[in-house]
Amino acid sequence: MASAKTAPTLPSPASGGGTKTGGLRERKKQKTRESIQRTALRLFGKQGYEATTVEQIAAAAEISPSTFFNYFPAPLRKAGLPGDDRRADRRRR
């Protein structure tokens, strides 16, 4: 009698993909967030924070401005970068 072969099973998407680092969706979100941050830092270094627009960051990161705001909803904090203390500066004035 031949043994029956069973097809390998894949983790369900609902279970987070079965990895400790999260599912595919979460990993893709993290990669997109990191790409936006790297792009923003590069543009800030090249042309300065004040001269850099969300539209420029989005175009360089190959996303739409609405996608940018999905990842970083506070419009005054471009790319949600650590060390961006403009809000704190405003409170001191």
Under 8 Å CB-to-CB from 27, ≥6 apart: which residues? Answer: 17, 21
Task: Give the CA distances from residue 72 to residues 8, 66, 82, in Å, rounded to whole numbers and listed in that order.
Answer: 39, 10, 12
pLDDT digits (tens, 9 = 90+) for 4-38: 555 444 444 454 444 456 899 999 999 999 999 99
Give the domains, in start order, of the chain with CATH numbers. Answer: 23-82 (1.10.10.60)
CA-nearest of 25, 41, 28 to 79 is 41
Confidence (pLDDT) at 6: 53
Tell me the mean pLDDT in the region 62-89. Answer: 67
Q: How far is CA 9 from the centre of its chain?
A: 30
pLDDT band at 80 (very low <50, low <70, confident <90, very high): low
